[in-house]
Amino acid sequence: MNFLTEFAEYSKGTEAPENYHVWTAIGTMSAVLGGRVWLKYGRFKVLANTYIVLLGPPGNGKTTSMGFGQKILRAIPGINLSAQAQTKEALVKDI
């Protein structure tokens, strides 16, 4: 099985729409790859960076879906996550 299929099975049975889980899985893969994997495109390196925003009304599962990705990322050594709201001082300390 591939990661997307495994993630869909892992996150099944929640109130979040399936497309939230798909995009959360893609964002999770991007965070794991970081700058370590890239494609050469002419003179440029194309990194796996993604910037994903889950949009929807309150209470429809955005946080639930993101929680699954965060749980996976927290279990991987070397992956650092920041708080959703953080002071400049705390961010500098984390870095």
pLDDT in tens, 17-56: 999 999 999 999 999 998 888 899 999 999 988 889 999 9
58: tokens are 């309150």
Q: At what angle do helices 18-33 and 3-10 cross, to 10 degrees?
A: 130
If DSSP codes are grouped into helix, strand and coil, which group holds residue 92?
A: helix
Residue 83 pLDDT > 80, yes or no?
no
80: tokens are 């650092």
Higher pLDDT, 61 or 95: 61
Q: Report the percentage of the chain scoring pLDDT > 90.
A: 63
Q: How many residues can be counted in the chain? A: 95
